[in-house]
Structure 1
Amino acid sequence: MNWITNYVRPTINSLFSRREVPENLWTKCDDCGTMLFHRELAENQNVCTSCGHHMGISPRDRFTALFDGGVFTEVEVPEPVQDPLKFRDQKRYPDRLKAAQKKTGEKEAMLVAEGEINRTPIVAAAQDFGFMGGSMSMYVGNAIIAGAERAIKLKRPFVLFSAAGGARMQEGILGLMQMPRTTVAVEMLKEAGLPYIVVLTHPTTGGVTASYAMLGDVQIAEPNALIGFAGARVIEQTIREKLPEGFQRAEYLLDHGMLDRVTPRTQLKDELTTIIRLLMGMDPAVVADLPAPAPAQPEAKAATPAEKASDK
């Protein structure tokens, strides 16, 4: 062993060895298979730049793109009793909650915030499908009620982004009870004369579609979002008929009167601004509505010889 073996060879190997590339720099589109650079995908709000396929997006990332300057304030949500049924399947319910919290970095399956979109004040709530399938839990029920009460207090419209697989089975009947609770919260908004707008994202299914997700004054959906109560296979087995192509997709529901609009995610901010200002009786939003620049100060002119002589 000498200095060549111990020093020179490792140095040369390190210079010419293949550098490791992080695995999370590229994302493959589920629809067209295009490899998308993570920065371009994030800038386009997780919408494929090649085919327009809408991928999942977290509530926090959605709000960052939605609110002006990415600035919003979270609305406090009352904490429910944890694991009231002492539920256990392959794992204990508290362990599943901890795993979901570690995976998403969020406390629960819904985030509630207040802020402005195109200088239009709103209160918004968004479900996180990455958190136990966005399942409707007691916390989700509390979040919707907290958002509705905050909207009523501030006299702002309430915008809700739904994404769920149904009620949370680990909470049993307590999870299902959020259906009437959230329905009452929506009714509170209607009595206060405030708009309630729902944006249905992929997927929105189960008890969520039988309660707050289908009670909006305006129903908007993202393109190709799966929306329905029961699964297509269950329906086919029940009615013993083949369902039509695209059944339970946003475009099919729009054609059959279940939705008002199908709007791409990148256009939602402007669409919501127009609808909210119309329903609230506000003036239309002004493009580039920024403070006017300060008037330019006139430049000082050079003194003439006569003025210089008079000064003397």
Structure 2
Amino acid sequence: MNLFDRHRQLLRRKNAPAAAAREIPEAVFASCPGCHASVLKSVLQTNRYVCPSCGHHFPISARERIRQILDDGSFRELDARLSTVNVHAFPHYDEKLDTASRKTGMKEAVICGTGTIDGIHVAVGVMDARFMMASMGMAVGEKLCRLIHQATRKKLPLILFSASGGARMQEGILSLVQMARTNAALEEFSEHGGFYISVLTHPVTGGVSASFAMAADIILAEPEALIGFAGRRVIEQTIRESLPENFQKAESLQEWGFLDAIVTRGDMKKLLARLLRLHRGRKS
């Protein structure tokens, strides 16, 4: 074998792993944003969509979160067909709603209903960031208010899982009104002795963070969730200073007393059940 042939052989060996990797379908693996490891999607699913190497929490759908948190077969959805209306005739809004609906199989950015956690009946609302970044418009506000009123009437504990980019600009002032509506419903719920747990997932920003997401008896968050009102770049441009790396991360908010606890996905159901039992014991 001459030198030229030897060199070609070495190159083939060097490129073999990369070539083999290209032959593996992308649907089999997911790249972790935290540690950049390639993780089998089947392993992610078994591990509640948490990276087994670094603990990074991948985004999950509202349906998947309900499956993880509520007892099997206990969930009963409310107002499943309620959807928004393009009242301002905002250009291309109808097309965006249709695309989001086909992508997620949902009519709006939040799923609401009742179910049980460890046998304890609860009212639950779960936002899904895949639907227009779970922005809050009229339908989202209406579904949440109906859920809160249901919890008030039936004296159920309330758990809301937030993940949102804020108010929905296509609905203008009608989207901003939902901040006041949901908070008013929560005030009535609290006056009737209701127990409300808010769980903040990635991200929770804008009008949602400024209203019902932070108005709970107990506020929990998933690790490294982004939580804030205005975006980092807007704040830096306004104050003309650089912000720390962990700014608006759940860990920073806990340090400053804005959160009660940061809870991993694997521990979430167990902790929620414990809090619900403690509250039930306090009432009896």
Q: Where on the TM-score scale, by shorter chain, does this alignment land: which range? A: 0.7 to 0.9
For residue 66 of structure 1, report the CA deviation from its aligned partner: 0.8
Q: Following TM superposition, by how much is the alpha carbon of 1:70 offset from its aligned partner in structure 2, in angstroms?
A: 5.1
Partner of 1:85: 88
1:241: how far off?
2.1
Moved over 6 A (4+): none
> Residue 49 of structure 1: SS of its match in structure 2?
coil
Find the counterpart in structure 2 of residue 198 from structure 1: 198
1:26 aligned partner, one-letter code: F
Q: Specify which structure has the higher proportion of helix.
A: 2
**TM-score normalised by the chain length of structure 1:** 0.80
Inter-CA distance 272–145: structure 2 relative to 1 (3 Å threshold): same
Q: CA deviation at 1:80?
A: 5.6
**CA spacing shift, 1:120–1:84, aligned 2, 3 Å:** same
CA shift for structure 1 position 272: 0.7
Question: Which one of 74, 77, 80 corresponds to residue 77 of structure 2?
Answer: 74
SS in 2 for 1:103: helix
Distance (whole Å) between structure 1 residues aligned to residue 39 and residue 96 of structure 2: 31
1:27 corresponds to which of 24, 27, 30: 30
Q: Which has the larger radius of gyration?
A: 1
| 1:144-191 residue CA offsets vs partner (Å, 9 max, x unmatched) | 111112212221101000000110111111111101001111112101
Question: Could you tell me which residue of structure 2 aligns to residue 106 of structure 1?
Answer: 106
Q: How far apart are 1:192 and its partner, in Å?
A: 1.4
Report the count of equivalent residues. Answer: 261
| Counterparts of 1:52 and 1:77, CA distance in 2 | 33
Q: Of 56, 59, 67, which aligns to 1:56?
A: 59
**Tell me, what secondary structure is at the counterpart of 1:166?**
coil
Give the drift of 1:278.
1.2
Check the 8 A contact 2:84/2:108 in 1, yes or no: no
Residues 145 and 185 in structure 1, CA contact (< 8 A), matched pair in contact too:
yes
Q: CA RMSD in A?
A: 1.6
Shift of 1:21: 5.6
Q: Is the 8 A contact 1:77 1:142 kept in 2?
A: no
Change (3 A) 1:70 1:263: farther
Give unmatched runs, 5+ long, in structure 1. 1-19, 284-312
Shift of 1:282: 6.4
Work out whether residues 78 and 143 of structure 1, in 8 Å CA contact, stay in contact via their aligned partners in 2: no
Residue in structure 1 matched with residue 273 of structure 2 by the alignment = 273
Structure 1 residue 121: Cα displacement: 1.1
State the TM-score, normalized to the length of structure 2: 0.88
Cα drift, residue 233 of structure 1: 1.6
1:127 Cα offset (Å) = 0.6
CA contact (8 A) 1:195 1:280 kept: no
SS at match of 1:121: strand
Counterpart amino acid of residue 239 in structure 2: I
Question: Within 5 A, what are the aligned runs for 1:35-54?
Answer: 35-54=38-57
The amino acid that maps onto 2:90 is F
Cα deviation, residue 79, structure 1: 3.2
Equivalent residue letter for 2:82: E
The SS at the match of 1:177 is helix
Change (3 A) 1:268 1:275: same
User: Structure 2 counterpart of 1:187, which letter?
Assistant: E
| 1:246 matched residue in structure 2 | 246
Aligned to 1:220, the other structure's residue is in SS state strand
On the 8 A contact 1:195/1:279 being kept in 2, the answer is yes
* Kept after mapping to 1: 8 A contact 2:196/2:218: yes
